[in-house]
Structure 1
């Protein structure tokens, strides 16, 4: 019996998974493509920021809240004076009134024809008199400004300005309604960030096995160690790479935020206490956010890894992954929809379904103070990850490798592989 035929004690599944995870993690982290991967999200962020700024400017210029006055000069002056008296009390609830110059220069001025001819940039035009004002505009603008215009006209009819009582105000730090609203806002933002990071980073595992299948590397790995360990190692390696990417993006974003805050407001640093606080508090909420991201990544990554293992080309990967991507989008919509329905059957379904459970439970952390439900949910999600890894590896072994456990040792001898705890084959 030669040395090649001597099969030494195998690595355990966890030890083999660690070998694969270390190998893949270093291979991805030290590659030049990883640098471009880190720079990739900057471009859509920059483009989105520029588009938002330009779109905001265009929207502000295009949407007018001016209401034209087409009365006689005396009535126009009375309406403008009344609007000025009401402005301190009502503020933005009032339209910006402006006299229409064409009404004074054109003998037979027709406000309806003026608006239909798309002249000027008025939301609506007020004609008639303060005693009988007539508001002309589209249906939406009439519903919006009919009440404020009537209030201004009523003030314009008074010979003496109204004296408004002084309202004594007292500020409270919070209220039940304000707290619930802030927690809902925190839950929505957290779910959105979790979804975007998961979808952005989970795609890395899609093509992870395609190249190794083409180079027959997967044959060597499958012959030497259990496929469960291969899948688990690759999945956790990509999770580690994702955490490195998030750390880099987070530090870069924090730096840019600090520089921008210093340049604009003169303040330095970032005060997390100024954000709407979640129910469990910020420290524990951030910890749960990291853990639920890991679970969401592992759950979706296990599906993507199985798809990548079954595909032979990158085109097949893209085709097979589309249904899973659409399903994950629907799962996110389900979890987001149930934020305002805690305890309902739909919300419980989102908590129980593994793929939506991290999103629903992160929202619960923002809305409710109880902690035991998170321990139960994390245990359930971890079990689902193990089931998906086991099912994916078994499906790969039967459909792609065309073998079971029995054929692993003969193939190992054929390739001349010796797997021991001291001599891992990487």
Structure 2
């Protein structure tokens, strides 16, 4: 065992140096920034479209006095409810509302006519059901006029609220789940192509002749995990600087049940176990694939299966202690996601110790299975087995 660990560290140091010192590593670090910038740009654009472009416009074809009362009530309600919660009002010339709606340049979703005491809303049936309550509220406020009551609410702040704390801890657990899942899916796929390239260049045979195959697999997994932590530190520093610049030092996220120091430690461990579980599976798959095309073909079903597992884990978060939550915590590939959410909601530490040992056992089992398949289907010379598990067997000679 000591020899395997020593050899694995040699392989890990070799792969880690090769990745970190390559010219493309800076592109790897900067790569996730582009989706973030694009997402922020589209998020701002989407919010603007939602709050401005998608707000319906209702034409007001009332006498001037009634139209003025409706507009004044609309402004008052906007101050209290927010403009995104009410349709826009725009003066329309008096006349037949159906003729106004037929005009291509009017851009009215509906037209309100009549008087404040008896408003008449004209439009398509589906739009009328949507706008009826809003127009009725505006007309009621217009009828009240200056007598529109405004009851002041007395505020009594408390230091703690059990319901609010439970909700905030649930949100913290969900956020940690999503973060670990995204980082795992982003980084674990690199293990696949790494092994295929070395198989193509016949480097893997040289390594297999020098050190045990177990050490090769373990060393590559350790190197990719270390490289992932370099990337996470880089991205985390950028996020921290951005939060301090835009949110300020007073921003404090909800505190998890186990406290931030233990939660961050468990988050690091569960990311490591999630990464090594998926990475060891990818190593086993990559060891059988002979070309990059096969890797890409095999990557899709594994990724889709991992997404299904993640959705199962997110469902289990809302049902702590239920059979589904226990099953998700026992199943090795969903266990890291379930346990990090449990750390945010429950103060008990012993379940995490059990889960970490359980996940480590499965990492060892998957690595052993990958090594066995690699020896059986790749390293054996001659015959169809040397082509890999996923290669088509050649037809027997006549």
| TM-score, normalisation: structure 2 | 0.86
* RMSD of Structure 2 on Structure 1 (CA): 2.6
Alignment of 1:123-134 (within 5 A): 123-134=109-120
Shift of 1:74: 2.1
Alignment of 1:7-156 (within 5 A): 12-84=3-75, 86=77, 90-91=81-82, 95=86, 98-101=89-92, 103-104=93-94, 108-110=95-97, 112-115=98-101, 117-138=103-124, 141-156=127-142
Alignment of 1:201-216 (within 5 A): 201-216=187-202
Find the counterpart in structure 1 of residue 215 from structure 2: 229
The one of the two structures with greater contact order (alpha-carbon pairs below 8 A, sep at least 6) is 1
Segments of 5+ residues of structure 1 without an aligned counterpart are: 1-9, 404-426
Aligned counterparts of 1:88 and 1:321: Cα–Cα separation in 2: 52
Preserved CA contact (<8 Å) 1:66 1:95: no
Shift of 1:201: 0.7
Partner of residue 282 from structure 1, selected from 254, 260, 283: 260
Find the counterpart in structure 2 of residue 381 from structure 1: 359
Aligned counterparts of 1:177 and 1:140: Cα–Cα separation in 2: 38
Find the counterpart in structure 2 of residue 322 from structure 1: 300
Preserved CA contact (<8 Å) 2:169 2:257: yes
Shift in alpha-carbon separation, 1:217–1:165, aligned structure 2, 3 A: closer
Cα displacement string for residues 152-190 of structure 1 (whole angstroms, at most 9, x for unaligned residues): 323433586144443322223442332232222222221
Shift in alpha-carbon separation, 1:125–1:191, aligned structure 2, 3 A: farther
Aligned counterparts of 1:306 and 1:93: Cα–Cα separation in 2: 53
Aligned residue for 1:12, secondary structure, equals helix
Find the counterpart in structure 2 of residue 354 from structure 1: 332
Aligned counterparts of 1:113 and 1:41: Cα–Cα separation in 2: 53
Preserved CA contact (<8 Å) 1:64 1:123: no
Larger Rg: 1
Cα displacement string for residues 127-162 of structure 1 (whole angstroms, at most 9, x for unaligned residues): 222232233345565444423432332343358614
Aligned counterparts of 2:368 and 2:27: Cα–Cα separation in 1: 33
Preserved CA contact (<8 Å) 1:25 1:241: yes
Shift in alpha-carbon separation, 1:94–1:194, aligned structure 2, 3 A: closer
Aligned counterparts of 1:32 and 1:79: Cα–Cα separation in 2: 65
Preserved CA contact (<8 Å) 2:55 2:84: no
Cα displacement string for residues 309-339 of structure 1 (whole angstroms, at most 9, x for unaligned residues): 1111111111122211111111112112222
Shift in alpha-carbon separation, 1:234–1:191, aligned structure 2, 3 A: same
Shift in alpha-carbon separation, 1:345–1:125, aligned structure 2, 3 A: farther
| TM-score, normalisation: structure 1 | 0.81
Segments of 5+ residues of structure 2 without an aligned counterpart are: 382-398
Judge which range, 225-234 or 61-70, deviates more: 61-70
Say how many residue pairs are matched: 381
Shift of 1:350: 1.6
Partner of residue 170 from structure 1, selected from 156, 174, 177: 156
Shift in alpha-carbon separation, 1:230–1:93, aligned structure 2, 3 A: closer
Aligned counterparts of 2:174 and 2:154: Cα–Cα separation in 1: 35
Aligned counterparts of 1:157 and 1:307: Cα–Cα separation in 2: 72
Aligned counterparts of 1:213 and 1:320: Cα–Cα separation in 2: 17
Preserved CA contact (<8 Å) 2:217 2:283: yes
Find the counterpart in structure 1 of residue 240 from structure 2: 254
Shift in alpha-carbon separation, 1:167–1:216, aligned structure 2, 3 A: closer
Find the counterpart in structure 2 of residue 242 from structure 1: 228
Shift of 1:303: 0.8
Shift in alpha-carbon separation, 1:216–1:152, aligned structure 2, 3 A: closer
